[in-house]
Structure formats: structure tokens, C-alpha cells
């Protein structure tokens, strides 16, 4: 009876869980597995490809010495931080205004900003390229800093609106009776209370900007200004020659910042994601 | 505190500063001021491009040069282009199959993770990884994983004796389509799982206990309790995922670039190729615009459901 029960739990629970884990983690395993192999090992079909026979750091050294990988990382970092800051300030103000100030058009404004979240970049990149060209921002990181907020602001505003809803109105009302101005209330009461929400929003902005691909591909052309994924493909795939080891090393290293941010704030991340869905 | 506030008020009541600070007490003035930065950015870089895109679709604009109005010529041209029809087919196949798989696998994993077990939090963190890691980078990994001579998948299946030669994942149109769908499913399952897990946690265990007393099995409990209660959230998650899958770009662009011979183009990649590589902004914009009917429908459904939830 007990054995039967344990057996049924294994089949109904642990086997599917293991299958999911293998499915979801296999590509990462393959990535790491490739990074630490030498080319001779990588292209030797007689060896078991799932195992590293003679680990080497050759690919990582090559990534850092033969490409301007650190420059691409710096570019990505710069764009992600700037876009995050701009979006946070804009969304924080907008979310507070829509949720708490209840001015005449606050309802429609909220709806319009929400709709902005559902417009994919695929539709916007061609006209945006046209605009960027006219603004003389072509091939400049500022083109990315200015365009990323278009998909960050709607999301953040939405997330923060939900957050403001959870802050009791009475606190503001009390402060108002005490004669504090609205600006003061926002700075002294609202801001400190919504810091966890701002943190969630900031993490999302940072990861979304770090992950962006299409705009960076479309608006940037010189190698020194590229972001990581675009730089990797242009520099490490030359015609028919694919430097798979170095490519995977690049993919691995560029994933580290996001993975770190994520691992520190995983609870905020999950809360933000589910909160945004429920709002 | 009160005295300080009072003296501040009397000092600021006069002059320009006083008038400004009084205006800022008006919720409408302050509200409009607060939404201005967000609205400004969204108008210039979201609303304006959206309209400009509609206009570009009716012009023969090429990169760096203003175009002339040419009516429906771009669209007429596209409707005669077999690549465009193949792109339509690919996009619908990609979206439909990938979303169905993501939903089914996502629900399954959510149900598993909803049980209590050791290391649940850790598992939940691991599960989100494909969603967190930049798609462009995991796409590179899939590209390598789908290599025709050095793929670990082929090697493994060969050793098992299931296949007798290495699979040409990306060289054959149908293999390439399924490979792309698999990569997309891999990336999208976590979104469904985490989104639905939040919904599962709100279902009261009493319902399941009552059903057990009535003699319901696991499948019946899932179908009669879990699924109906999860439907509203599932709809929203599905619509979101449909929009993103339908408008996907990076997975396809990195793994196949629309190849072999244009056989795996979806709307996003075809418009990129025509506009950015071919310089035909007008034609590229026309392709993008043809996505709008489907997207607007999805947005409408999402909107109606979110309103209902409120």
C-alpha cells in the first residue's frame, strides 16, 4: 500500500517535474557545456558531446581578447540604466496622477497607456527608424535610450497603479489636513511607501531593456555602439565560419547580469509579473 | 510642526511662487503635469510612429528619402507575392501551435508547482529562467543546438537508435518550422506557469476536498474545478502570449533569418528584411500594418476581459 502510494507519487509528480526541468534547463546546459570545450573537442563526433573531456577557458579568453565584448556590455548597461531611470520617473508620476489625483481625463489616460503596452515593437520599428533618422539619432545609443521607454512606461505605469491602489488613502488625507502640499505628500509619504513597487518596476525595466533586440538591431550600425546580442552575431559569425565556443561564451556572460538581478529579487519579480496580470 | 506649516503657507501665499504652489494644489493641474512626461514620450515614440506607419504603408518611401503617396500599390503588390502568403501561413501556424503547446505545458507545470514539496521556491525560480534570460542569447543557443552536424539532440537520438542520420533541423522548411515553434514554446512556458500559478493559489482547497468526498478523481477535479476557475486568468495570459507570439521577431531572425529560402518568414522578419535590409520602408510598413487586424482583435479581447475582472 505504502509502496504503491510512493510509486504513484513518483509517477504522477516527480517524473513530470523532472521532464519539465530537463526541457527547460537543457539549452542552458548545452550553452555551458559548449563554452568550456576546445574546438577540437567540439567538432569531434566520436566523443560524447554531453560531457566536457578536457575543460578549457580558451573560448572566454577569446571572447574578451578578440572582440570588444566589454564595450558591448557597457553599451547595453548604459542603455538599460538610462531607459530604466527615464521610465521609472515618468511612470511613477503618471501612475500616481492617474490613480490618486482623479483629474478629469485620468480614466482615458490610464486606458491609453495600458493599450500602449499591447502594441508590439514589430509594428513600430519601421516608422521609428524613419523618425530616428530625421532626429539625427541614427547609430546613436540615445536612439535606444529614447525609444525603450515606449514599452517600459506602459508596463511600469500599470504595475505602479496597482501598487498605489494598495496604499491607504487616509494617510494622504491626514497629511492634507495637517496642511502639507500635494507635492510634499508625494515626496514624503507616497514615495517612501511605494519603494518596493518601484523596485519591482525597476527590475522589470532593466531586464526588458537588457533583453531588447529589434530596435538595437535596426537603429545601430557601427560595431562599437552595438549591444551584446547584436555584436556577438556580427563579430563571431563571419560568412560560413561560426565561432560557436566564443558565441556561447558571450551568451553566457551577457546572461549573468540579468540572472544576478533576478536571483536577488526573484520574489519581487514574481510578484510584479502576477500583479501586472491581475490588475 | 503646525506652526512651521502655517508660517510656510503665509510666506508662500503671495507672489508668483504662491500662485504656482496654489495651482499645484489643484488635482487637475498637478495631474496633467504629472502625466506629461509619460505622455510626451509615448506620443512622440509610440502614437506618432503608429500613425506614421499607417501612412508609410501607402507610400514608396525608401530609407532616407521621403516617398510619394501611391495608394494601395504596396498592398496589391504583396497580395501577388507568394512569399507574403507563405509568411501569413507561417505566422498563423507558428502562433497557433506555439500558443496551444505553451498553454497546455504551462498549465501542467503550474499544477505540479502548486503542490507542496521541498524546494518549491527554488523550483519556481528555476522555472522562470527561460523567460528571464535574454531571448536573443537563448536563441543563439538554439541555433547551435539545431546545428546539422553537431547537434546534441541528433547525437542522442542516434545513440538511442531512433534515427539513423543527423537531423537537418534548419535546412528543411518543415523541420525549421517545428524547430522554431519548439524554441518559442520553451521560452513561453514560464510565463503561463507563473501567471497561472498565482490563480491556482487562490482556489480554495475546500472545493477539492468536497469533490474528493463525492468521489471525483484527479482529472475530474482538474476539469470541473481548476479549469473553470482559472478560465478568466487563462484567457488574459493566452491573449498576451498570442500577441507576443504573433508579433515575434528575434527567435526567428536569429535562428533561421526566415530561411531556408524564405520558408520560415513571419510578419516581423519579412518586414524587417524588406524595410531594413532592402531599404523599402513603404513595403515593410505595409507588411507590418497587415498585422494590425489580428492584433486589434487580441487587444480588444484582452481589454474586455480585464474590464470584466475589475
Which cell numbers hold the place of B66? 521621403
% chain B with pLDDT above 70: 95
Asked whether the predicted pLDDT for residue B8 surpasses 60, the reply is no
**Residue-range domains of chain A with CATH:** 2-45+53-60 (no CATH), 61-278 (1.10.3720.10)
Residue B124, pLDDT score: 84
Residue A77 contacts residue A260 (beta carbons within 8 Å): no
Q: Which residue has the higher pLDDT, A240 or B112?
A: B112
CB atoms within 10 A of CB B251: 28
A104–B63 CB contact, under 8 Å = no
Nearest-angstrom CA–CA distance, A259 and A237: 25
**Residue B165 main-chain phi, psi, to 5 deg:** -145, 160
In a domain, B31, yes or no: yes
B69 membership: H or E segment, kind and range: none
Output the domain CATH number for residue B301.
1.10.3720.10
Pairwise CA distance, residues B274 & B165, whole Å: 36
| Residues B133 and B97 both lie in one domain | yes
Q: Residue A1: its pLDDT value, please?
A: 55
**B51-103: per-residue pLDDT in tens?**
999 999 999 988 777 888 898 889 999 999 999 999 999 999 999 999 999 99
Q: Tell me the count of A-B CB pairs closer than 8 A.
A: 290
Question: Average pLDDT in the B186-200 region?
Answer: 91
Say yes or no: A101 contacts chain B, CB-CB below 8 A: yes
Least confident range from A3-12, A158-167, A252-261: namely A3-12
**Contact check, Cβ <8 Å, A213/B156:** no
| B102 located within any domain | yes
Alpha-carbon gap, residue A209 to B102, rounded angstroms: 24
- Say if the Cβ atoms of A24 and B189 lie within 8 Å: yes
- Are B109 and B220 members of one domain? yes
Q: Percent of chain A beyond pLDDT 70?
A: 96
- Please give the Cα distance from A228 to A235 (Å, whole number): 11
Q: Mean of the pLDDT values across residues A121-139? A: 91
**A79 Cα to chain B: minimum distance (Å):** 15
Confidence band for A196, pLDDT divided at 50, 70 and 90: confident
Specify the number of domains making up chain B: 2
Stretch B14-35: mean pLDDT, rounded?
81
Asked if residues A237 and A145 have their Cβ atoms less than 8 Å apart, the reply is no
Q: Are residues B291 and B205 in the same domain?
A: yes
Closest CA to B38 of A152, A12, A263: A152
pLDDT at A49: 81
Question: At residue A241, what are phi and psi to the nearest 5 degrees?
Answer: -95, 115
Shared domain for B168 and B294, answered yes or no, is yes
Has residue B171 been placed in a domain?
yes
CA dihedral for A170, A174, A180, A181, sign (positive or negative): positive
The closest CB to that of A124, out of B33, B46, B189, belongs to B46
C-alpha cell recorded at residue A235: 563579430
Residues B114 and B194 in one domain: yes
Domain for residue B32, yes or no?
yes
> Looking at residue B104, what is its pLDDT?
95
DSSP letters for B185-204:
HHHHHHHHHHHHHHHHTTS-
What is the average per-residue pLDDT within B35-50?
Answer: 91
pLDDT band, residue B233 (cuts 50/70/90): confident
Indicate the SS3 state at residue A190: helix
Expressed as residue numbers, the domain containing B19 is 2-56
Taking only residues 167 to 196 of chain A, the set having a beta carbon closer than 8 angstroms to any beta carbon of chain B reads 178-183
Distance (Å) from the alpha carbon of B12 to chain A's nearest alpha carbon:
11
Among A49-58, A230-239, B37-46, the range with the most confident prediction by mean pLDDT is B37-46
Q: Which residue of A has its CA nearest to B152?
A: A49
Tell me: do B40 and B160 sit in the same domain: no
| Angle in degrees, 0-180, between the axes of helices A228-236 and B135-145, rounded to the nearest 10 | 30
Question: What is the structure's pLDDT at B84?
Answer: 94
Same domain, B95 and B219: yes
User: Are B249 and B158 contained in the same domain?
Assistant: yes
My answer on whether B214 and B122 are in the same domain is yes
pLDDT at residue A279 is higher than 50: no
Distance, CA of B112 to CA of B213 (rounded, Å)? 22
Q: Give the pLDDT of residue B1.
A: 47
Give the separation between CA A170 and CA A184, rounded to whole angstroms.
16
Which three three-digit cell numbers place residue A144? 535606444
pLDDT above 70 (res B263): yes
> B2 vs A153: CB contact, 8 Å cut-off?
no
Do both B143 and B93 map to the same domain? yes
pLDDT computed for residue B238 by the predictor: 92
Within a domain: residue B184?
Answer: yes
Report yes or no on B67 lying in a domain. Answer: no
Which residue blocks in chain A are alpha helix, DSSP H?
2-9, 15-35, 39-42, 58-66, 69-96, 106-117, 121-134, 141-147, 149-165, 169-177, 182-185, 191-193, 195-211, 214-219, 228-236, 244-264, 266-278
Task: Give, in degrees to the nearest 5, the angle at Cα A263 between A259 and A269.
Answer: 100
Is B70 within the bounds of a domain? Answer: no
How far is the C-alpha of A15 from the C-alpha of A9, rounded, in Å?
Answer: 9
Task: Answer yes or no: is pLDDT of B7 > 60.
Answer: no
CB contact under 8 A, B135 and A49: no
Q: Please give the residue of chain A at the shortest CA–CA distance from B299.
A: A118
> Using alpha carbons only, what angle is made at residue A213 by residues B154 and A246, rounded to the nearest 5 degrees?
50
Task: Identify the band that residue A100 occupies on the pLDDT scale cut at 50, 70 and 90.
Answer: confident
The overall average pLDDT reported for chain A is 86
Q: Which residues on chain A are in Cβ contact (under 8 Å) with B186?
A: 23-24, 27
CA distance B59 to chain A (A): 12
Lowest mean pLDDT, pick from B18-27, B58-67, B140-149, B153-162: B18-27
Is the confidence at residue A177, as pLDDT, over 70? yes
Helix (H, G, I), strand (E, B) or coil at B47: helix
- For residue B228, pLDDT over 80 is answered with yes
In chain B, residues with a C-beta closer than 8 Å to the C-beta of A22 are none
pLDDT band at A2; cut points 50, 70, 90: low
Report the C-alpha gap between A59 and A203 in whole angstroms: 30
* Candidates A24, A120, A251; nearest CB to B243: A120
Q: Are residues B17 and B158 in the same domain?
A: no
Residues B88 and B25 in one domain: no
Question: Looking at the complex, does the CB of residue A5 fall below 8 Å from at least one CB of chain B?
Answer: no
Q: Do A27 and B32 touch (CB under 8 A)?
A: no
Q: Does B258 reside within a domain?
A: yes
Instruction: Using CB atoms within 10 Å of the CB of residue A96, give its burial: 0 to 12 exposed, 13 to 18 middle, 19+ buried.
Output: buried
Amino acid at each position: 500500500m505504502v509502496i504503491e502510494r510512493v510509486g504513484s507519487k513518483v509517477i504522477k509528480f516527480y517524473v513530470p517535474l523532472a521532464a519539465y526541468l530537463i526541457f527547460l534547463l537543457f539549452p542552458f546546459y548545452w550553452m555551458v557545456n559548449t563554452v568550456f570545450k576546445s574546438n577540437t573537442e567540439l567538432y569531434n563526433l566520436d566523443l560524447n558531446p554531453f560531457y566536457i573531456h578536457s575543460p578549457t577557458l580558451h573560448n572566454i579568453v577569446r571572447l574578451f581578447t578578440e572582440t570588444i565584448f566589454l564595450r558591448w556590455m557597457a553599451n547595453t548597461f548604459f542603455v538599460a540604466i538610462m531607459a530604466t531611470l527615464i521610465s521609472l520617473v515618468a511612470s511613477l508620476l503618471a501612475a500616481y496622477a492617474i490613480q490618486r489625483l482623479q483629474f478629469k481625463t485620468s480614466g482615458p489616460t490610464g486606458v491609453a497607456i495600458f493599450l500602449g503596452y499591447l502594441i508590439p515593437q514589430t509594428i513600430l520599428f519601421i516608422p521609428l527608424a524613419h523618425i530616428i533618422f530625421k532626429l539625427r539619432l541614427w547609430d546613436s545609443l540615445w536612439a535606444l535610450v529614447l525609444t525603450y521607454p515606449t514599452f517600459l512606461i506602459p508596463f511600469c505605469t500599470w504595475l505602479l497603479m496597482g501598487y498605489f491602489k494598495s496604499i491607504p488613502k487616509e494617510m494622504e488625507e491626514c497629511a492634507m489636513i495637517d496642511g502639507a502640499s500635494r507635492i510634499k505628500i508625494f515626496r514624503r509619504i507616497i514615495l517612501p511607501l511605494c519603494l518596493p513597487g518601484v523596485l519591482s518596476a525597476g527590475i522589470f525595466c532593466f531586464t526588458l531593456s537588457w533583453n531588447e533586440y529589434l530596435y538595437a538591431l535596426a537603429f545601430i550600425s557601427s560595431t562599437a555602439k552595438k549591444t551584446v546580442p547584436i555584436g556577438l552575431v556580427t563579430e563571431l559569425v563571419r560568412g560560413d565560419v561560426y565561432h560557436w565556443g566564443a558565441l556561447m561564451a558571450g551568451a553566457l556572460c551577457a546572461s549573468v547580469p540579468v540572472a544576478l538581478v533576478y536571483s536577488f529579487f526573484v520574489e519581487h519579480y514574481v510578484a510584479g509579473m502576477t500583479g501586472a496580470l491581475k490588475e | 510642526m503646525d506652526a512651521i506649516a502655517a508660517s510656510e503657507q503665509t510666506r508662500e501665499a503671495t507672489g508668483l511662487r504662491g500662485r504656482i504652489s496654489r495651482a499645484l494644489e489643484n488635482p487637475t493641474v498637478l495631474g496633467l503635469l504629472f502625466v506629461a512626461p509619460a505622455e510626451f514620450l509615448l506620443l512622440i515614440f509610440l502614437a506618432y510612429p503608429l500613425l506614421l506607419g499607417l501612412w508609410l504603408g501607402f507610400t514608396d518611401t525608401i530609407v532616407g528619402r521621403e516617398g510619394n503617396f501611391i495608394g494601395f500599390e504596396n498592398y496589391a503588390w504583396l497580395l501577388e507575392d507568394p512569399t507574403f502568403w507563405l509568411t501569413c501561413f507561417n505566422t498563423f501556424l507558428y502562433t497557433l501551435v506555439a500558443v496551444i503547446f505553451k498553454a497546455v505545458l504551462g498549465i501542467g507545470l503550474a499544477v505540479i508547482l502548486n503542490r507542496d514539496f521541498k524546494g518549491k521556491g527554488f523550483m519556481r525560480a528555476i522555472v522562470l529562467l527561460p523567460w528571464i534570460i535574454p531571448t536573443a542569447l537563448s536563441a543563439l543557443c538554439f541555433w547551435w543546438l539545431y546545428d546539422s552536424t553537431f547537434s546534441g539532440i541528433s547525437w542522442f537520438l542516434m545513440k538511442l537508435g531512433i534515427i539513423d542520420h543527423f537531423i537537418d533541423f534548419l535546412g528543411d522548411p518543415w523541420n525549421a518550422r517545428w524547430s522554431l515553434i519548439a524554441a518559442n514554446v520553451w521560452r513561453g512556458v514560464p510565463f503561463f506557469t507563473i501567471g497561472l500559478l498565482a490563480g491556482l493559489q487562490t482556489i480554495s482547497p475546500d472545493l477539492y476536498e468536497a469533490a474528493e468526498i463525492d468521489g471525483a478523481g484527479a482529472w475530474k477535479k482538474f476539469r470541473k474545478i481548476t479549469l473553470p476557475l482559472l478560465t478568466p486568468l487563462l484567457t488574459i495570459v493566452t491573449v498576451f502570449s498570442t500577441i507576443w507570439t504573433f508579433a515575434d521577431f528575434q527567435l526567428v531572425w536569429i535562428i533561421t533569418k526566415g530561411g531556408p529560402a524564405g520558408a520560415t518568414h513571419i510578419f516581423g522578419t519579412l518586414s524587417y528584411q524588406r524595410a531594413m535590409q532592402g531599404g523599402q520602408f513603404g513595403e515593410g510598413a505595409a507588411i507590418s500594418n497587415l498585422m494590425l487586424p489580428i492584433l486589434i482583435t487580441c487587444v480588444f479581447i484582452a481589454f474586455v476581459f480585464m474590464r470584466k475582472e475589475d
